[in-house]
Amino acid sequence: MGGPRRLLLISNSTLHGGGYLGHCQQHIQRFLGQQVKRVLFIPYALHDRDAYARTAREKFESLGGGNTFRLLKALYDNSLIHEIRKRVLEDGIPYMGSSAGTNVATVSINTTNDMPIVYPPSLQALGLVPFNINPHYLDPDIKTTHMGETREERIRQYHEEPNTPPVLGLREGTMLLVEGDKATLQGVTGARLFLRGKKPTEHEPGTDFSFLLTDCNPLNP
């Protein structure tokens, strides 16, 4: 039996005005520590996997970005759902992802921003945490004339369905660090928490979200 689960779930790999992972480089270094000598990179979120892997190897760039539907489908196609869950939840292998890699770490990919360019056998994901995340969360722009739905409206629609878990909207520049039964918001921007039947709430970096790990149960993929 390994140690407790350790996850670093990043909203985005690039923040305006900075380089690749510049906004979270120190967080990554602390998360991996000196004992991690090798990183398994899963390049399934983009079509050209070889080029994606080379980019990640050379620049340690994305750590799980790309299209969420493509990534989850490949995880199912390669029978990796159960294996990754076991390695992370039972063996204590650290898991780190951004954007799509963060989406697939949650209960399901129902709250992704991506287009369904491929069709995975299920929308249920790895279930490493018992809630959903909306990476790249954007606040409504009161000055815009755009008539499309906001992220908040879409999440509210999701919560119109029964038995839907909480959704944590991670703004760009924000990440969630999970260590065992403790979850802490980190980064340079805040997050918005959506609970079914309740008004969304604002949270600053440093917020303790540990209650999200204990108040609801993950769906088994």
Pairwise CA distance, residues 214 & 209, whole Å: 10
48 is catalytic: no
pLDDT for the residue 204:
97
pLDDT for res 110: 97
Given a cut of 70, whether residue 87 has pLDDT beyond it is yes
- 50 an active-site residue? no
What's residue 124's pLDDT?
97
Q: Domain segments of the chain: what residues?
A: 6-214
Per-residue pLDDT band for 118 (boundaries 50, 70, 90) equals very high
Catalytic residue selected from 11, 62, 98, 114? 114
pLDDT score, position 140: 76
User: Which residue's entry shows tokens 């770490």?
Assistant: 105
CATH number of 6-214: 3.40.50.880
Is 99 catalytic? The answer is yes
Kindly report which listed range (58-72, 76-90, 114-128) carries the lowest average pLDDT score.
Answer: 58-72
Give the model's confidence band at 141: pLDDT under 50 very low, under 70 low, under 90 confident, else very high. confident
Buried (b) or exposed (e) across 26-48, using 16+ Cβ within 10 A? ebbeebeeeeeeeeebbbbbbee
Look at residue 14 and tell me whether its pLDDT is greater than 60. Answer: no
What is the model's pTM? Answer: 0.81
The pLDDT mean for the chain works out to 83
Question: DSSP class of residue 20?
Answer: B
Catalytic residue among 11, 99, 108, 159: 99
Give the residue-averaged pLDDT of 18-32: 61
Question: In the predicted model, is pLDDT for residue 208 greater than 90?
Answer: yes
Is residue 208 within 8 Å of 214, Cβ to Cβ? no
Mean pLDDT of 129-134: 97
Q: Which pLDDT belongs to residue 55?
A: 55
From the list 23, 62, 98, 136, the catalytic residue is 136
What percent of the chain shows pLDDT beyond 70? 69
DSSP letter at 53 equals H
pLDDT at 78 over 90: yes
pLDDT value of residue 221: 40
**pLDDT, average across residues 179-202:** 95
Q: Among the listed ranges 42-46, 57-61, 88-92, 185-189, which one has the minimum average pLDDT value?
A: 57-61
In this model, does residue 106 exceed pLDDT 70?
A: yes
